[in-house]
């Protein structure tokens, strides 16, 4: 039965929130996006997106979806000076299995998160049916007859009860800090089960001016840890404005410092000196900043027997991943397409939440297995331990990793999994199994072998 689709509300101006609002604008007469922060007219960071000042990766599948929803977005980003990095052709990549040969497998546009969100938000603001309500916060859900009927909203910084905003559908896209568990308990629903697998990872980042005339034969560096003993990772990628974003990562509470000397010393301790040598004499453009809210968090809303109708949870508010693997934004983009497909397939808004949550969790299973499987290599990871199945799978993945360093076809398969264009099961196809069993080629001995 088709039901009225007059007004939809999205809580949170995250990338997931922006993409959800874009989808809902195709299905509802009006859409209201509510965000606690106040948006600026120019590109700038905002308090509610503390992770924005660190390295972000939007894999090829995520970029394709963003371009599908906002035609011409890639051209806008390029005009803004966003560089392209071919992976791994334009980079030196030290994997846990050694150096990877520079095949051309996929590509990334390496932008700052602030620029991406600002560009998407500017495009979204041109949608006539959309209302951006910035500087406001949702204090609770309106509900009746087993359905959410809207939200209570007040201006941020004020006190007292919020003003009601009614809606035919409400979507929570507020990220890890989502208040949905508390809101549901206030309405009488049982507590949601949660799974948290926490590698105790922290990272620190800062930007540097790319030195004039710097041309070492690569555009980006990715120096991975070698678990379970090596805990430190470093990445250097170009961004708009002729600068590098440098992020350093440490697992098991081996947190990188943010001060000048400590940051450089941590970079110097990586498995290769290349990143340290690149930045030691480069001009820092920003101070170091840190982030430590990095655990893999899954809220099992799809398993709840009772759930309010016309209320969805999406993005990191539903399932969040260790940011080290760069999956979050692409998973959000895929979730937006899932929302669109669910709305097109059935006019029943009352059953939408069940359909949506189950499909999104199914799509997130691959990224979850990748992130948690890697994190469980460390004995310091909290929330779970690596069982026999995980250890066997990790040994096989190690073999595939070795092979991907030297075999372009296996490299393509491996990166397709990272880029979310293929499921992890594709690494077990006969072609990969055969190559993993028979290929014995050695990887490059060092970075000099990779530079033309």
Beta strands in 253-369 (DSSP E): 283-284, 289-291, 296-299, 311-313, 319-320
What is the separation, in whole angstroms, between the first and last Cα of the chain? 63
The answer to the question of residue 373 being in a domain is: no
DSSP helix, strand, coil percent of the chain (3-state; round to 5): 35, 25, 40
Asked whether residue 27 is assigned to any structural domain, the reply reads yes
Q: Are residues 21 and 34 in the same domain?
A: yes
Report residue 176: phi and psi, to 5°: -55, -30
The answer on 258 and 211 residing in a single domain is yes
Q: Report how far residue 36's alpha carbon sits from residue 48's, in angstroms, rounded to the nearest whole number.
A: 8
> Does 283 share its domain with 345?
no
Spatial distance between the Cα atoms of 207 and 279, rounded to a whole number of angstroms:
10
Give per-residue pLDDT as tens, 421-439. 888 889 998 988 888 888 7
Question: Could you tell me if residue 242 is inside a domain?
Answer: yes
- Write down the pLDDT at residue 446: 72
| Residue 88 preceded by cis peptide, ω within 30 | yes
pLDDT, tens only, 441-452: 676 767 767 765
Please indicate, yes or no, whether residues 189 and 210 belong to a single structural domain of this protein.
no
**Contacts with 104 (C-beta within 8 Å, 6 or more apart), sequence order:** 86, 89
Return the pLDDT at 246.
97
Do 184 and 122 lie in one domain? The reply is yes
Of 256, 291, 326, the residue at which a domain comes to its end is 291
Task: Tell me whether residue 420 is in a domain.
Answer: yes
Q: What's the CA gap between 406 and 446, in Å, rounded?
A: 13
CA angle 281, 284, 46 (to 5 degrees): 160
> Total domain count for the chain?
3
Do 208 and 155 lie in one domain? The reply is no
In a domain, 60, yes or no: no
What is the model's pTM?
Answer: 0.93
Low-confidence ranges of the chain (pLDDT < 50): none
pLDDT at 205: 96
Is the domain of 258 the same as that of 400? Answer: no
Pairwise CA distance, residues 413 & 400, whole Å? 10
The Cα 440–Cα 158 span in angstroms is: 66
Unique residue bearing structure tokens 């120096």: 223
In a domain, 344, yes or no: yes
28 and 146 in a single domain? The answer is yes
Query: What does the pLDDT read at residue 157?
Result: 86
Same domain, 123 and 190: yes
Domain range for 427 is 388-450
- The reported pLDDT for the residue numbered 161 is 81
Same-domain check for residues 174 and 207: no
Residues 341 and 309 in one domain: yes
CB–CB of 46/35 below 8 Å? no
- Is residue 35 within 8 A of residue 17, CB to CB? The reply is yes
Token pair listed for 335: 């979730």
Amino acid 57: pLDDT: 87
CATH number at residue 131: 3.50.50.60
> Are residues 47 and 156 both part of a single domain?
yes
Residue 64: CB atoms within 10 A of its CB come to 16
Residue at 23 is within a domain: yes
- Degrees (nearest 5) of the Cα angle 77, 81, 83? 85
Q: Is residue 433 situated within a structural domain?
A: yes
Check residue 450 and give its pLDDT. 72
């Amino acid at each position: 039965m088709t039901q009225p689709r007059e007004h939809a509300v999205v809580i949170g101006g995250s990338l997931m929130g922006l993409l959800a609002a874009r989808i809902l604008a195709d299905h509802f007469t009006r859409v209201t996006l509510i965000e606690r922060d106040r948006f600026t007219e120019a590109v700038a960071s905002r308090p509610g997106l503390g992770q924005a000042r660190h390295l972000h990766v939007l894999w090829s599948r995520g970029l394709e979806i963003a371009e599908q929803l906002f035609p011409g977005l890639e051209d806008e980003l390029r005009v803004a000076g966003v560089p392209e990095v071919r992976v791994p052709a334009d980079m030196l990549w030290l994997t846990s299995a050694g150096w990877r040969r520079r095949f051309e497998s996929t590509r990334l546009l390496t932008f700052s998160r602030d620029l991406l969100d600002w560009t998407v938000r500017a495009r979204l603001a041109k949608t006539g049916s959309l209302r951006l309500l910035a500087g406001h916060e949702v204090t609770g859900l309106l509900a009746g007859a087993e359905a959410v009927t809207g939200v209570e909203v007040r201006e941020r910084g004020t006190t007292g009860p919020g003003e009601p905003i009614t809606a035919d559908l409400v979507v929570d896209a507020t990220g890890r800090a989502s208040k949905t568990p508390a809101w549901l308990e206030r309405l009488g629903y049982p507590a949601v089960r949660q799974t948290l697998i926490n590698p105790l990872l922290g990272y620190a980042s800062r930007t540097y001016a790319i030195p004039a005339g710097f041309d070492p034969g690569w555009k980006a560096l990715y120096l991975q840890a070698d678990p379970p003993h090596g805990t430190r990772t470093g990445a250097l990628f170009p961004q708009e404005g002729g600068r590098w974003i440098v992020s350093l990562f440490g697992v098991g509470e081996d947190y990188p410092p943010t001060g000048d000397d400590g940051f450089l010393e941590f970079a110097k301790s990586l498995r290769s000196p290349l990143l340290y040598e690149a930045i030691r004499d480069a001009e820092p453009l920003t101070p170091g900043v840190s982030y430590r809210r990095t655990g893999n968090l899954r809220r099992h809303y799809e398993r709840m027997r009772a759930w309010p109708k016309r209320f969805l949870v999406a993005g990191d508010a539903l399932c969040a991943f260790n940011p080290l693997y760069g999956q979050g934004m692409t998973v959000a983009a895929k979730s937006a397409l899932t929302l669109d497909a669910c709305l097109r397939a059935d006019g029943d808004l009352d059953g939408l939440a069940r359909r949506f949550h189950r499909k999104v969790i199914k799509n997130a299973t691959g990224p979850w297995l990748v992130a948690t499987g890697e994190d469980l290599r460390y004995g310091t990871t909290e929330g779970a331990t690596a069982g026999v199945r995980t250890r066997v799978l990790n040994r096989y993945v190690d073999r595939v990793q070795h092979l991907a360093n030297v075999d372009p076809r296996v490299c393509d398969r491996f990166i397709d999994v990272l880029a979310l264009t293929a499921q992890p099961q594709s690494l077990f196809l006969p072609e990969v199994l055969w190559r993993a069993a028979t290929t014995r080629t050695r990887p490059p001995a060092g970075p000099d072998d990779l530079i033309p």
